[in-house]
Chain A
Amino acid sequence: SQQGEEDPQALSIQEGENATMNCSYKTSINNLQWYRQNSGRGLVHLILIRSNEREKHSGRLRVTLDTSKKSSSLLITASRAADTASYFCATDPGGQNFVFGPGTRLSVLP
């Protein structure tokens, strides 16, 4: 398996519901980032959380990091149709370049 893996692979919810995506990784990291990608376009940075942080918020986004379990979660509250996208976590094993997981495809239905 890859350094970073998102779970689930795909998620379909109704507008207004919360969406939770998880990321697991294998080796120790300095930072973990979450990105969003709309179909076939560039990635948009959402949040960076450092290894000494446990939780960060940005608007409707909440990211947690549990370094003992080597896992992170991204929560999107009160989802909107515009949140439909693929979401990726990226980790920097060994403090080198970022390694991306395969992503979670989120569909928010109106």
Chain B
Amino acid sequence: KAGVTQTPRYLIKTRGQQVTLSCSPISGHRSVSWYQQTPGQGLQFLFEYFSETQRNKGNFPGRFSGRQFSNSRSEMNVSTLELGDSALYLCASSYGGPDTQYFGPGTRLTVL
């Protein structure tokens, strides 16, 4: 089976802009979770989608949003970017979380 894919792999934006990241889960997986990883805060949970519904949400401001499509692909959106949003954004898929999660390679976002 193909692994979890994330696009784009690298992104450079400026403050105030918005960005959309995409994640394609492993075929058959219905749960997609998003994480933000920074040197200072480590890996932090953003949200989890299951069957197109947000099932869990982490402690992030409303500028961070996501959605999941009927084919389980997921997108996350960050509006009004801030310098502190620079991070590695990881998505992970599983059959029905919380179970073994399979991670994608991540999208490296740099906000200037």
Contact = CB atoms under 8 A, between A and B. Distances in A.
Given A88-B43, A102-B42, A96 B98 contact: yes
A100 interface: yes
B63 to A, nearest CB: 20
A81 interface: no
Interface residues of A, number: 24
Contact of B33 (A40, A48, A95, A97): A97
B101 A42 contact: no
A42 B58 contact: no
A78 interface: no
A45 B42 contact: no
Contacts of B100: 33, 45, 48
A11 to B, nearest CB: 17
Contacts of A98: 33, 45, 97-98, 101
Interface string A39-79: 01111110010000000000000000000000000000000
Query: Which 8 A-B pairs have CB atoms at the shortest separation, nearest pair first?
Result: A100-B43, A42-B103, A92-B98, A43-B103, A42-B105, A97-B56, A102-B42, A97-B45
Interface of A: 2, 30-31, 33, 35, 40-45, 48, 88, 90, 92, 95-103
